[in-house]
């Protein structure tokens, strides 16, 4: 009897771990898809797409350290804003450093390399770290907050004295 109970408990525990791993994997995949959709919408200056990705209380800390509520962020991604920016092409490739899921909330840390061209000239690539907070609403992941931190370019080594 004890062997049967122990075996049943071990089986239930193993199945629970398997289901949890599957759930986290699905959540991570969905969260990565939301981050990719945000990056695509940003590069295309698609405020409508961003509107569907952000929660109603979305807040961004911009790369220059400004506190930007949702409406201000959306106003930056209009076709008029794109025309004024002069940026023709932007490429964003995330490298995920950490995705932690806590039920219906997730914290994501990713590194982005922004490559831009302006007036046909390639601009120097820039690196950013991003911390995003995702929240599941009605079964769909959205972004509630994003903070960008610039990564300084590598410093040139000082010449050695001769």
Residue 107 has pLDDT above 70, yes or no: yes
Average pLDDT, rounded, for the chain: 81
Residue 9 has pLDDT above 70, yes or no: no
Structurally, the chain folds into a number of domains equal to 1
Q: What is the CATH number of the domain that holds 29?
A: 3.10.450.50
Looking at per-residue confidence, does 64 or 118 come out higher?
Answer: 64
Average pLDDT of the residues in 96-107: 95
DSSP 45-81: T-HHHHHHHEEEEEEEE-TT--EEEHHHHHHHTSHHH
Q: What does the pLDDT look like over 10-39, one tens digit per residue?
A: 445 443 444 444 457 899 999 999 999 998
Per the domain annotation, does 30 fall within a domain? yes
Per the domain annotation, does 75 fall within a domain? yes
Looking at per-residue confidence, does 141 or 151 come out higher?
Answer: 141
User: Residue 103 sits in which domain range?
Assistant: 2-151
The pTM of this model reads: 0.75
Distance in angstroms between the alpha carbons of the first and the last residue of the chain = 83
Residue 114 has pLDDT above 90, yes or no: no
Q: Provide the pLDDT for residue 106.
A: 97
């Amino acid at each position: 009897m004890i062997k049967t109970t122990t075996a049943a408990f071990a089986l239930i525990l193993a199945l629970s771990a398997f289901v949890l791993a599957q759930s986290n994997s699905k959540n991570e995949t969905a969260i990565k898809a939301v981050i990719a959709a945000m990056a695509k919408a940003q590069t295309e200056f698609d405020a409508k797409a961003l509107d569907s990705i952000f929660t109603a209380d979305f807040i961004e800390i911009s790369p220059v350290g400004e506190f930007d509520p949702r409406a201000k962020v959306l106003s930056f991604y209009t076709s008029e804003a794109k025309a004024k920016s002069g940026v023709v092409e932007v490429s964003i490739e995330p490298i995920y450093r950490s995705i932690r899921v806590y039920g219906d909330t997730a914290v994501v840390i990713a590194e982005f390399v922004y490559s831009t061209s302006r007036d046909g000239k390639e601009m120097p690539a820039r690196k950013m770290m991003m911390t995003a907070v995702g929240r599941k609403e009605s079964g769909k992941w959205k972004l509630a907050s994003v903070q960008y931190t610039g990564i300084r370019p590598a410093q040139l080594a000082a010449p050695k004295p001769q």
